[in-house]
Amino acid sequence: MEKGLSGNDQYDFGTVRLIATDMDGTFITCRAEIPDRNRRAAKICGDNGVIFVIASGRSYASLGDFIGVEGEKGYIIAHNGARIATAGAKKELLRTPLLAEDAEYMIDLGHRLSATACIWADEKLYITRRTRPGKLYAEASLAETVYFDARDPFFLRKTPEGRSNIDKIYWTAGEDGTPWISGEISKLIPETLSCFTSGGGCMEFVDRSVSKGNALRTLCGMIGVDIKNTVAFGDSENDLSLIEAAGFGVAMENADPMVKKKASYITGTNDECGVADAIEKLFGREQKRKQFGI
């Protein structure tokens, strides 16, 4: 059953100071386009003094066509929270790469499981196998791509603190579309890592401290916004922490059932401009409340 705004009268939408949205499956359509309605909705936020945040599993490079929608005063959460930057990715505020030993272990594990591993290191994309899913991911990444032998991760570097230069590791689904199951893979990885599925049965790995929800909390602390005064949109397992962290979580109609269960409101699908619909209702409702003094 759809959760509606009418069932959330206890939340004061007049206090909203920040809106964060996932991109794939949420703010952009299945054709990877931003509908005009969603662009206007982002502008509505700016016009109402509300900060607009892109919160994506994508890299800065992969967000190239979409950067700008957050406006001059917005922010970007990339790699599922491993990196946070100001509008347009002009200034990085935080970066949390994998531990070096975890990076080495995951590259080896991917090799042993015959995974097509797409590895983000210093905003460059390194891929272990020349598969069709890997090729499609590379094309969508808009980043410099290098294929390498998993037995020789020549690009891997280690800092004095034991960190690597790898922000995220992404396994594509199998060539036949076989999805990865996070519950099964989580048994094989160190406790210092987190894993979760994203669109199409793919699997993503980041440092245990990294999540969109933690990134939102960190960003709010940096800019002086109470986390209670935020609204977040998402559709996949990697958005769950974002939905739970925000003061008001919104799931797309096309969202994973577990995301819908945690959300306070369910809007339309990404192809139906569900984000715009919710933002228009949110601000329309608040404007009416102010107009009639209720």
Answer for the pair 234, 265: CB distance below 8 angstroms, yes or no.
no
Q: CA-CA distance, 77 to 220, in Å (whole number)?
A: 12
Q: What is the pLDDT of residues 143-188, one digit of tens each?
A: 999 999 999 999 999 999 999 999 999 999 999 889 999 889 999 9
pLDDT of residue 286: 53
Q: Which residues contact 114 (CB under 8 A, 6 or more apart)?
A: 129
| Tens of pLDDT, residues 90-121 | 999 999 999 999 999 999 999 999 999 999 99
The pTM of the full predicted model, rounded to 2 decimals, is 0.90
- Mean residue pLDDT across the chain: 91
pLDDT at 215 over 50: yes
Location of structure tokens 């097509």: 116
pLDDT at 2 over 50: no
Q: In the predicted model, is pLDDT for residue 4 greater than 80?
A: no
3-state SS, one letter per residue, for 213-276: HHHHHHHHHHHCCCHHHEEEEECCHHHHHHHHHCCEEEECCCCCHHHHHHCCEECCCHHHCHHH
Please check the confidence at residue 199 and state whether its pLDDT lies above 80: no
Q: Is 120 helix (H, G, I), strand (E, B) or coil?
A: strand
CATH assignment of 5-95+211-292?
Answer: 3.40.50.1000
Alpha helices, DSSP H, located in 150-211 = 182-185
217-261 tens-digit pLDDT: 999 999 999 999 999 999 999 999 999 999 999 999 999 999 999
pLDDT band at 292 (very low <50, low <70, confident <90, very high): very low
- Give the architecture-level CATH label for domain 100-207: 2-Layer Sandwich (3.30)
Domain residue limits, the chain: 5-95+211-292, 100-207
In order of 39, 75, 88, 277, the CA distances from 69 in angstroms are 6, 10, 9, 17
